[in-house]
Amino acid sequence: MSTAPPAAPPLVSGRIRALILLAASLMLVPVLLGGNAGPAHADQNAPGGARPAPGDAWAGMTIEAHEGRQDAARGALLAPSGPQGIDVSHHQGTINWSNVRGAGVRWAYMKATEGTSFTDGQFDRNYTRSYQQGVIRGAYHFALPNASSGASQAQFFHNNGGGWSADGKTLPPMLDLEYNPYGASCYGKSDSGMVQWIRSFSNKIKNLSGRYPVIYTTRDWWVSCTGNSGAFNSTSPLMIARWSSSPTPLPNWPAWTMWQYTSSGHVNGVGGNVDRDVFNGSLSRLRAFARCTNENPCRVG
């Protein structure tokens, strides 16, 4: 499991500070539009100047700076129908999971690791306390494909919380793939290179945990950085991040399983903003999703 957690940073000096640094750095460089012009993606949209501290990333951190948002007009608290979830990291500080469960949240993902050197300081507490309160929970890994191989990051993730058990209360491990908060948007990789990296991670975490990872991403990032690959649509469930009135599924994916519909939600038990998510199906299907595998499917009554 992860190392002993440091004291949780205040919200303003953590998540908001990192967003300010990211937004400011993006304003210092020109945004170059276009596809893959060579064997590797150019450093378009690469942050310059001040950058977030290593380990400070969270699911959705880079989306607003690159894609904007449309959820403000619809209201962050106007939740779509379906079992409600949240995703969290050390930026939320100490969470009261009893209150979260009482507010109607039925599932949650929490950051465990980033690259091969960072473990989230709140992960152990979040993972244990959420389980104790009956919240179906899982761990996620913030990918840094330019830092090390997919297999090595999968191993680090699994060693520090990224496991799975068929208890009906543990979600499959999740791989967070989004714009690089520390440099080139596609991490300097070609489309095929990125697909190879994801395959290396996916196969390793499947061998270690028994489940292929849920893939968290945005439509624009996936199209830009994998060439709209359909290589994982039969093995990995999709968590689509789109802060708008409806999800936009990936063209080569048959369906979305989870949808992160806002980053500015509010839930009793969590201080400040929190990412809000919804599962595409009933609560019984969510429980089956947590319990069953492609090799050992189960009937949903």
Active site residues: 87, 176, 178
Amino acid (1-letter code) at residue 279: F
Q: Which residue, chain included where needed, has tokens 């300081």? A: 121
Q: Six-digit token pair at 30?
A: 């020109």
DSSP tag of 42 = -
CA distances from 191 to 119, 197, 224, 269 (A): 28, 10, 8, 41
Query: Do residues 242 and 261 touch, judged by C-beta distance below 8 A?
Result: yes
**What is the C-alpha separation between 179 and 62, in angstroms, rounded?**
6
DSSP tag of 170 = B
Strand partners, 151: none
Query: Do residues 151 and 197 touch, judged by C-beta distance below 8 A?
Result: no
SS3 call for 167: coil
H helix runs in the chain, sequence order: 17-26, 63-67, 71-74, 97-102, 123-132, 150-159, 191-209, 219-226, 283-291
